[in-house]
Amino acid sequence: MSQPNPFDRLLATIEDGKYKFYDFTKLNDARLAALPVSVRVVLEAAVRGCDEFLITSADVEKILDWVNTQGKVEIPFRPARVLMQDFTGVPAVVDLAAMRDCVARLGGNPAAINPLVPVDLVIDHSVQVDASRTADAKDQNEAKEFERNSERFTFLKWGSTAFEGLQIIPPGNGIVHQVNLEYLARVVFNQDGLLYPDTLVGTDSHTTMINGLGCLGWGVGGIEAEAAMLGQPQSMVLPEVVGFELTGKLAPAATATDSVLTITAILRKFGVVGKFVEFYGAGVASLSLADRATISNMAPEYGATCGFFPVDESSLEYLVQTGRSAEHVNYVRSYLKAVGLFADYTVTNTSAFSAKLSLDLSTVEPCIAGPKRPHDLVAVKDQKADFTKCLNNVENNFKGFAVAESHRTATANLSFEGKDYTIHHGDIVIAAITSCTNTSNPNVLIAAGLVAKKAAERGLFIAPYIKTSLSPGSQAVEKYLAKCNLLEPFAQQGFTIAGYGCMTCIGNSGQLYPGVGEAFVDNKIVCSSVLSGNRNFEARVHPDTAANFLASPPLVVAYALAGTMDIDLVQEPLGKGADGNNVYLKDVWPSQEEVQALVREHVTSEVFSEVYSRIKQGNARWDSLVVPTNPNQFQWDDASTYIHNPPFFAAMAMELPQRGDIKGAYCLLSLGDSVTTDHISPAGDIAKSSSAAKYLNERGIQKADFNTYGARRGNDLVMVRGTFANTRLANRVVGPGATGPVTVHIPSGEQSSIYDASARYIADGNDLIILAGKEYGSGSSRDWAAKGPYMLGVKAVIAESFERIHRSNLVGMGIVPLCYKAGENAASLGLKGNEQFDITFGGELIPAQDVTVTTSTGKTFTATLRLDTAAEIAYYRNGGILHYVLRNKIKASA
């Protein structure tokens, strides 16, 4: 049981005793000097939380000895708070409500289930680009958002009153990460006079954005987040820390987006999965806070747990700019300097990093990423040649479209609003300034507005069939763009504000304009999207866009003006102006001086203070929602297709379940490399031919009202049917070249939907496994990418490698992650996917042990058990992390 904190002796005060803090520098340990700042933050959390039970003094020693223990030992980490968005937050709150039912069934007090750390949930993922290019697009989209999601929003509003410590930010206020950056982030917590660093985990992989402000945080699955809410430390391997030195300054033509795409490519090539990246060097001082946040945001794309920028004076200036109080800023500075967590980027860094990389920012050139992955970097000057190579690639891989040679120069006709257009491979149908990567950054947004303005002044406009949208990260963006007189130029080019939320980047792009998609698809013309987001995986942005490119906001406008991605913007014109003369990119590109002059004048603390003074007030639509009256247990409605009582705790008993070897399991799917959570658990459109559509149709729901998988995450019956529902999924069990959510029921040889085959296996009492390649589960941190396979009957996944969050989520649902030995995979072992598999653990489980896998064809191989810590083994034995927490909660209250 818990004991007094032995490190209470380190308590110190600042500002004449007004504030207390744990001064870990008084450990007087020479090893402190070698620790990167991010590791010192982890150390402080262990020192402050030490109870010799969940967190011990031995854990503190492991962290102090980081130079020798990194990557080798397990430590507990308890974050100061939890951050959620509504797609991932709804199922988390659903699970908490279901846990209350379980506690009541087992004789406990359901009201005892509450978050034990502050939880902020920002509703930002539900709005879609239904309307665009009109002055009232934002209002139309918000009205549709509430029409579709009133059940979900009512449930969340109930949760905000039922659960202590849960704060809900209503829809229409902005993207979770930008609201976090501009408003929610404390940088330093002040809990009744006790100061400590602001650390967090979030149910969105891009929680990492907050590291740009010096708050250590990263994405976890909803399952892990729920455990953190309930006071359970996160068990993690003490990470390696890669130091990334930035020198020089960005050239005038380059933007923060160009730098982050360059950094992403460098780090992805180096390999930083499961590691911290900590930035240092004089080049950091030349970057604005928003620039740093843009780099931190993309940590999931370069594979790191986080990309951390220690706090410096620029960070404090940002706190002032965004309306934080003088008192707050003063104690942040005083505390961080007192414990050695404050940075001066002009001073030589002496930390003993695990490895070091560097980039001279002056060498960064304008670039984009695509056409299918965020780390596939292409210089703007090379884009035309690269696109031609993609067309000519005979394989439909990450850099190819497998277009037949005879069809590579094909064109087709598009009739739109009474005018005929000739369309070509690479032509753009979606251009979106969207998502948290760039809409936190006034530098690139203002630059985009100036490109739109300068083009309009020359009489150059975006083709009307291109679906354009502007989705600001917060209402503050609209305020300062209005002050800069840039909203009208944006609107002239079709970039009217579509809503405040994560829209196109998450797949909430809505339908293409009538006839546009059909013209491309029916004629087999490769069409493109270009967006200022962070994800461009296949079928994510829109099912019809085979090519998807990430670009800075000003380049989004520029490519949209050109109307195609098959262009060299450096040499070729964007189009012709009203005078008939060619207009080039250089003619409309603003200078840094132009941009900075507008930033200095109009991006002020008054803008942010005005916006955030009313953020909790909601709006008329939110205020009109009527919540259930029982504050302790939710009143489930079995007829609801949005909110459903999940089965995860329905049969849970206090006794541990039996977990033995896996015998005679069939392969449900055999998959290749880079299968993402978009493949496993799509967030976008529900296809009319899908198993989920069939379920909704049977309940009287028509296609127009399907909404998205993301919006229906609170209903397990929809989500299990949507698991592996991506139209681009390539399942080798079906055969080479086959795509879509289909598999073969091995015993009968019959092909069916994955859901139907799973139901058949479960009815016959058969266990299931999945075979996969490298980076299985990369992409957004979706708990349903683990919950879905669990409900499909999957007991184990054997992969070459896993994305960090997804592997953890599998463990959290009691699914065994296994890795092939180095150099081995399904192909090298001759696995066809039609075998049966025995997985033998060999008695008592230990982290990372060898496991024997034997197939019905006589093949035997050894795999590595990816239960990485003793805590993960405990979770697995309990049937999942929430079952572990719930049993302990009930025991503690007995």
SS3 564: strand
Q: What is the pLDDT of residue 800?
A: 98
Coil, helix or strand at residue 33? helix
**Predicted pLDDT at 409:** 95
Cβ within 8 Å of residue 624, ≥6 positions away: none
Domain range list for the chain: 6-77, 81-363, 367-603, 662-681+726-893, 684-722
pLDDT band for 890, please (50, 70, 90 cuts).
confident
- Structure confidence at residue 685 (pLDDT): 83
Return the half-sphere exposure (C-beta side, CA atoms, 13 A cut-off) of residue 868: 23
Averaged pLDDT score across all residues of the chain: 94
Range 145-158 average pLDDT: 93
Residue 356 CB contacts under 8 Å (≥ 6 apart), including other chains = 242, 243, 244, 245
CA distance 768 to 752: 16
Those residues with Cβ within 8 angstroms of residue 180's Cβ, 6 or more apart along the chain or in another chain: 83, 120, 122, 202, 207, 209, 210
Write out the DSSP string of 277-332: EEEESHHHHTS-HHHHHHHHHTHHHHT-SEEE--B-HHHHHHHHHTT--HHHHHHH
User: If residue 84 lies in a helix (H) or strand (E), which one and from where to where?
Assistant: strand 81-85
List 576's β-bridge partners, or say none: 582
Residue 43: its pLDDT value, please? 98
Mean pLDDT in residue range 703-728: 92
The pLDDT assigned to 1 comes to 62
Indicate the pLDDT class of residue 436, thresholds 50, 70 and 90. Answer: confident
pLDDT at 555: 97
CA–CA separation, 224 and 91 (whole Å): 12
Rounded to whole angstroms, the Cα distance separating 447 from 635 reads: 50
Average pLDDT over residues 839-846: 92
Considering all CA atoms of the chain, what is the largest pairwise distance in Å, rounded to the nearest integer? 82
Contact 323, 605 (CB under 8 A): yes
- 376 contacts 307 by C-beta, under 8 angstroms: no
Residue 617: pLDDT over 80: no
Which pair of tokens denotes residue 685?
Answer: 């459109």
We find that the CATH architecture of domain 81-363 is: 2-Layer Sandwich (3.30)
Q: Quickly tell me which residue has 């009744």 as its tokens.
A: 192
- Sole residue written with tokens 């009202």: 705
242 has pLDDT over 70: yes
- pLDDT band, residue 889 (cuts 50/70/90): confident
Instruction: Look up residue 663 and give its two tokens.
Output: 């015998």
Distance (Å, whole) CA 128 – CA 123: 13
Indicate whether 738 pLDDT > 90.
Answer: no
- Local confidence band at 854 (pLDDT 50, 70, 90 cut-offs): very high
Answer yes or no: are the C-beta atoms of 368 and 569 closer than 8 Å: no
Mean pLDDT over 581-604 rounds to 96
Exposure pattern of 199-224 as b/e (b: 16+ CB <10 Å)? bbbbbbbbbbbbbbbbbbbbbbbbbb
Residue with tokens 């949930």: 121
Q: What is the DSSP letter of 418?
A: T
Question: What ranges in 181-238 are assigned the alpha helix state H?
Answer: 222-229
In this structure, CATH architecture of domain 367-603: 2-Layer Sandwich (3.30)
* Same fold for the pair 81-363 and 367-603: yes
Paired residues of 851 in beta bridges: 863
For 277-332, write each residue's pLDDT tens digit: 999 999 999 999 999 999 999 999 999 999 999 999 999 999 999 999 999 999 99
Phi, psi of 103 (to 5 degrees): -60, -45
Residue 781: is its pLDDT beyond 70?
no
CA distances to 10, 59, 293, 433, 581 from 436, in Å? 39, 35, 9, 10, 37
pLDDT of residue 394: 85
Residue 325 neighbours by CB under 8 Å, 6+ apart: none
CATH of domain 662-681+726-893: 3.20.19.10
**In sequence order, which residues have a C-beta less than 8 Å from that of residue 641 and are 6 or more positions away?**
696, 699, 701, 712, 715, 718
Please state at what angle helix 313-321 crosses helix 605-612, rounded to 10 degrees.
60
Q: In sequence order, what are the residues at sequence separation of 6 or more whose Cβ sits closer than 8 angstroms to the Cβ of residue 146?
A: 153, 171, 621, 622
pTM of the model: 0.86
Rounded to an integer, what distance in angstroms lies between the CA atom of residue 200 and that of residue 207? 8
Task: For residues 351 and 354, give the distance between their C-alpha atoms in angstroms, rounded to a whole number.
Answer: 9
Between CA 149 and CA 127 the distance in angstroms is 9
Strands 582-583 and 575-576: antiparallel
Residue 68 has pLDDT above 70, yes or no: yes
- Among 489, 485, 447, 446, smallest CA distance to 468 is for 489
134 versus 224: the higher-pLDDT residue is 134
Query: What's the rounded Cα separation, in Å, for the pair 724 and 669?
Result: 9
pLDDT at 567 > cutoff 70 = yes
pLDDT (tens digit, 9 = 90+) per residue, 7-60?
999 999 999 899 999 999 999 899 999 999 999 999 999 999 999 888 999 999
**Is 778 exposed, middle or buried (CB count within 10 Å of its CB: 0-12, 13-18, 19+)?**
buried
Mean pLDDT computed over 1-6: 86
Cα–chain-centroid distance for residue 218?
A: 10
Sign (positive/negative) of CA torsion 546, 550, 556, 558? negative
Q: What 3-state class would DSSP assign to 87?
A: helix
Q: Tell me, what amino acid is at 489?
A: P
Integer Cα distance of 455 and 489 in angstroms: 9
d(CA 755, CA 759): 6
- One DSSP character per residue, 809-827 reads HHHHTTPEEEEEPTT--TT
Q: Comparing C-alpha atoms, which of 311, 386, 602 is closest to residue 476?
A: 602
Per-residue model confidence as pLDDT tens digits over 89-148: 899 999 999 999 999 999 888 988 999 999 999 999 889 999 999 999 999 999 999 998
Question: What pLDDT score was predicted for residue 451?
Answer: 98
